[in-house]
Amino acid sequence: MTTIVKRALVAAGMVLAIGGAAQANEGGVSLHKQDWSWKGIFGRYDQPQLQRGFQVFHEVCSTCHGMKRVAYRNLSALGFSEDRIKELAAEKEFPAGPDDNGDMFTRPGTPADHIPSPFANDKAAAAANGGAAPPDLSLLAKARPGGPNYLYSLLEGYASDIPGEAAEWWVKQQQELGLDAAFNEAKYFNDYFPGYAISMPPPLMDDLITYEDGTAATKDQMAQDVVAYLNWAAEPELDARKSLGLKVLLFLGVLTAMLLALKLAIWRDVKH
Ligand code: HEC
């Protein structure tokens, strides 16, 4: 191999290595890391998984959480038909009015509506949930260190899922306070929530829902799917960005090859 070809290969290797390092930036050491479909330069969202994840959100999480940055019509990116989107939106009620008598009323949602919080305001949300309002989930996959791995760990991190010392400590703590160990009035033990005491009851259990595509709804499957959906919501442009990135890399590759050929042609007749 000529030196120049070797150098070109080394340069190409460096470009790939830098790309890989940028992909590998994750927070939190003790989180459960998952093999997300969208990781790596060739990674993409898995549409059937996003649809299942939305179903989990819609049937479970949306009883407490809103996603105000996602409009129902945005769900067409997940492969839902227009009719299905209309149906999904119509399942939620929105404030409207006033009517001719000056009264406010509610109307079913349309595809232009954004996924609402089920509570009238933050105070009502906090009052119904042991003092902590369920946050809007639109951007949480970006807002928390560890992103999707944190969200997944949180969903898997309730006391009943954790055999070890932490759970024992928690049970003792609760007994000393005279509270029911597993389900006290407001707080639940979660190994991944800062401070361990979270106001969200464990939201998932096996067979809680029936997947429309027939996938077995284990707790782990639902956790993976809903996190994929939450990641899409926070980063919907990821697939497009990666396609563009690959095109740029391809372009740079072709350009390099052409310049190399040009250089070889120019220097062909020069004696060493
Ligand atoms: C019964 C109501 C309820 C349901 C159902 C529910 N949550 Fe929560 N969730 C809460 C409350 C309350 C909080 C605030 C917890 C706190 O601050 O202690 C919360 C907080 C969260 C957080 C933020 C954690 C953090 O780091 O601040 C995430 C993420 C979350 N929920 C995801 C989900 C997902 C995903 C689902 C559906 C699988 C779901 N929740 C279902 C009530 C609920």
Q: Tens of pLDDT along 70-127? A: 999 999 999 999 999 999 999 999 999 999 999 999 999 999 999 999 999 999 999 9
How many angstroms separate the CA atoms of 19 and 11, rounded? 13
At residue 131, the pLDDT reads 87
- CB of 140 within 6 A of ligand 1: the answer is yes
Instruction: Decide if pLDDT at 1 tops 90.
Output: no
More confident residue, 93 or 181: 93
Q: Decide: 132 in ligand 1 pocket, CB within 6 A.
A: yes
Protein residue whose Cα sits closest to atom 41 of ligand 1: 61
Q: Sorting pLDDT into bands at 50, 70 and 90, what band is 159? A: confident
Q: Is the CB of 144 under 6 A from ligand 1?
A: yes
Whether residue 179 has pLDDT greater than 90? no
Scanning the structure block, which residue is given the tokens 């499957």?
221
Query: Which residue type sits at 88?
Result: L
Q: Are 166 and 196 in contact (CB under 8 A)?
A: yes
CB atoms within 10 A of CB 211: 17
Burial (CB count <10 Å: 0-12, 13-18, 19+), residue 113: middle
d(CA 115, CA 109): 9
Residues near 157 by Cβ (< 8 Å), separated by ≥ 6? 190, 191, 192, 193
Q: Given this model, what pLDDT does residue 41 score?
A: 87
Round to whole Å and give the CA distance between 182 and 185: 10
The CB of 65 under 6 Å from ligand 1? The reply is yes
